[in-house]
Amino acid sequence: MAEQQKLSAVPLTDVRIDDVFWAPRQRVTREKTLPHNFKMCEETGRIDHFVKAAGRMEGKFEGYFFNDSDVYKVLEGAAYALMLERDPELERYVDEVIAKIAAAQEPNGYLNTYFALTDSEERWSNLRVRHELYCAGHLIEAAVAHYQATGQRTLLDVAVKFADLIDSLFGPDNRHDIPGHEEIELALVKLARLTGEERYNKLAEFFIEQRGRAEQRDLYGDYCQDHLPVREQSEIAGHAVRAMYLCSGVADIAALTGDQGYIDAMDRIWEDVVQRKMYITGGIGPSAHNEGFTVPYDLPNDTAYAETCASIGMILWNHRLNLLHGDARYADVLEQVLYNGFLSGISLDGVKFFYTNPLGSKGNHHRRGWYNCACCPPNALRLLLSLGGYVYAHSDDAIYVNLYVNSSARIPVAGTTVTLRQETQYPWDGKVRIMVDPAESAEFEICLRIPGWSRYVTTGLDDGRTPARTILHDGYARIQRKWKRGDVANLDLPMPIRRIAANPRVRANTGKVALQRGPLVYCLEAADNGGHVRNLTLPRNARLRAQHRPDLLGRVTVIRGTALATGNEGWDDDLYRHAAEAESADFVAIPYFAWDNRAAGEMVVWLPESPLLLAPPPVRWVTASASHCWQADTLLALHDRQEPESSNDHGIPRFTWWPRRSSQEWVQYDFDHPRRVSSVEVYWFDDEAAGGGCRVPASWRLFCREGENWREVQGAADYGAELDRFNRVSFTPVETTGLKIEVQLQGKYSGGILEWRVGRE
């Protein structure tokens, strides 16, 4: 297949980043994040699985069945680290890990430690769930990167042998099935490019072509993007990471074949994502129930899922679309995700990670050093270390600058090789100098991306006597001339502070604004604002100014201004009280990517313009605890005073016992001092309508604390479990320091609560 795309990426091996923003992050990633990821793969048994599968260690498989993929992603990241800087010690360690992987491979090429250590008869029997092809895809990507970094075939031979086995099992004349979690499609294209073996492209195309076709198999549904043939899809659906990996693979095949059906589908889906389902940070996938997409304009802030891996998928997809179309709008989205929704996923010290990236927090959301489902930490690692491959692109007669990063690159164009040097303080400053050094003078274009956020742009050359023909096309300022050594092109992108409003159909942001400067979205964090930010409003006439702070959060530019602070404390259950005047309050906003790197506290991206839009504060006189709370949920949801629209409301915070099922569980309130109470109202969470696994409980009871013991409340009416309403239980008034709800979960289901009110006398 001949490449049909308009542009080719300049590989990261031909790019050197040395700026004040990304170079320190890449250094931290090499020195901290990479060893941390390897260490966690060792401590959690992920690497030992290969030793066990090779028969060199006793033991069972532990953790998720797709844990092999985490090891492969860390190896891929290590390969990129070696491309950037030779490291004999790292190479030795990588060789040791690869030897363990190779030893676990079976004679026919099969390699998956979960199946090797469990029931081998189930191989290839549950592609929707068990992720064999997903793991194989990450093995292939790691192998390609390792070969490109070292020239060694140790891992590549393993991957080729496994790919050949898969090719012998699946295809038009073999088994018709697809992976439930996409990934192998884009990996096979990478393998074909490296090896020149066309079979791998054909197999990738087969997996894509089979989606949504029920002639010879059962469909997996829209969660797996398997509800319609790809050419017929117009809306993004299902699990966000899977969707992005599929779209990346489709873009790869479209680039190879020029298939207009695939190209049109990608264009329609891209419009759906960017115009209706993407956060201002570039994050995607608002819902925890499917880790993915819901309906247009459903973009809640505090409960935003916006998985880090999904942001990485957005970068992969938009990079491919930019190369396919040669249009800057895809690089605009890539930049938006890169600096915001992706970068927030990793801490400044490189060893803590967000799985989800909400746009608001009451102080209960924090990065963690690792996850049982650990897809995000190694994924962030490999993206950061491969960043150089996203900066530049080229065609036969043009160089494209897609990201503004202090760097140098060697780029083939117009029959010569050009050394390009970019000098800039981006993203803090929009001035860019491009120094051009062709091996031989040649006629070509230098195309400078004009970001969608930029309204006023100036371009020019250092040599004012030499006219430059500059046109604006497809989002690029194109400077056409005969370039010679020493030529310099200049670009100036002013960075005013902008107030951004959301489409009125985004219910969560009605009457609110967000702040953006250059490519960066800003947020207010409690650490800079007296411990609270959710009581602030930003009037339309508020004056704002930027200030660079080299002493803060690794050198950031902050936004300072004056907001209005409204005292919304002390309401308890009062219906009316004296109206308090809002007071002026100076505030500091920091780049969104940098939040939660200091003390825990509140955070907001979207600020109301009027005090009337402030949410009520949580009930302060209760403290909640439970037998279990899922990591994506919060106990604070029980008393945050956000009233549900239905039992299936995914737009507000919630508490659930997920993934516990069929069990007896409890949740309790401890009061700040003894209080006389006489009723409770419980709004149960039930996501049956969304295909989730939570239902109202089979039964429940209410207890009050009596001394050191708990006793059931007296005179309680029927314990209701009705949908879409508060279930009220009145009882004989009692003075107590706490209440406890005990539930029996239904059959095979879990359960949860959206709001729990306590009625006092």
pLDDT digits (tens, 9 = 90+) for 300-329: 999 999 999 999 999 999 999 999 999 999
pLDDT digits (tens, 9 = 90+) for 343-366: 999 999 999 999 999 999 988 899
Q: Is 634 exposed, middle or buried (0-12, 13-18, 19+ CB in 10 A)?
A: buried
pLDDT digits (tens, 9 = 90+) for 455-492: 777 787 876 655 556 788 999 999 999 999 999 999 99
Two structure tokens written together for 406: 């202090």
Q: Give the residue numbers annotated as catalytic, written as ranges.
A: 291, 375
- Distance separating the N- and C-terminal Cα atoms of the chain: 77
Two structure tokens written together for 670: 């401890």
DSSP states of 629-682 as a string? Answer: --TTS-GGGGGS----SSTT--SS--EE-TT--SSEEEEEEEEEEEEEEEEEEE
Judge contact between 408 and 419, C-beta under 8 A: yes
Gyration radius (Cα) of the chain, Å: 28
Predicted model pTM: 0.90
Q: Tell me how far apart the alpha carbons of residues 692 and 650 are, in angstroms, rounded to a whole number.
A: 11
Judge contact between 338 and 20, C-beta under 8 A: no
Q: How far is CA 226 from CA 214, 219, 257, 272, 438, in A?
A: 9, 6, 22, 18, 49
pLDDT at 704: 96
Confidence band for 650, pLDDT divided at 50, 70 and 90 = confident
pLDDT digits (tens, 9 = 90+) for 254-286: 999 999 999 999 999 999 999 999 999 999 999
Judge contact between 487 and 463, C-beta under 8 A: yes
Has residue 696 got a pLDDT over 60?
yes
SS3 of 11, please? coil
Percentage of the chain modeled with pLDDT above 90? 87
Q: How far is CA 346 from CA 138, 331, 339, 599, in A?
A: 21, 22, 12, 16
pLDDT at 351: 98
Q: Is 99 exposed, middle or buried (0-12, 13-18, 19+ CB in 10 A)?
A: middle
Q: Tell me how far apart the alpha carbons of residues 561 and 554 are, in angstroms, rounded to a whole number.
A: 22
Long-range CB contacts (< 8 A, 24+ apart) of 223-230? 223/290, 223/292, 223/691, 224/128, 224/180, 224/181, 225/182, 226/178, 226/180, 230/261, 230/262, 230/265
Instruction: Tell which wins on pLDDT, 440 or 630.
Output: 440
Q: How far is CA 137 from CA 52, 140, 160, 221, in A?
A: 22, 5, 11, 22
pLDDT at 578: 58
Two structure tokens written together for 754: 């959206």
Reference 523, options 587, 615, 586, 590; nearest CA is 590
Map out the domains of the chain with their CATH numbers.
12-210 (no CATH), 217-348 (no CATH), 394-492 (2.60.420), 498-612 (no CATH), 622-760 (2.60.120.260)
Supply the angle between the helices 132-150 and 68-84 in degrees, to the nearest 10.
Answer: 20
Confidence band for 571, pLDDT divided at 50, 70 and 90 = low
194, amino acid identity: L
pLDDT digits (tens, 9 = 90+) for 42-69: 999 999 999 999 999 999 999 999 999 9
Print burial letters for 308-324: b (CB count within 10 Å at least 16), e (below 16). Answer: bbbbbbbbbbbbbbbbb
Q: Tell me how far apart the alpha carbons of residues 353 and 248 are, in angstroms, rounded to a whole number.
A: 24
pLDDT at 459: 80
Percentage of the chain modeled with pLDDT above 70? 97
pLDDT digits (tens, 9 = 90+) for 9-39: 999 999 999 999 999 999 999 999 999 999 9
pLDDT at 121: 75
Where do the H-state alpha helices sit in 170-303?
184-195, 198-209, 240-257, 260-276
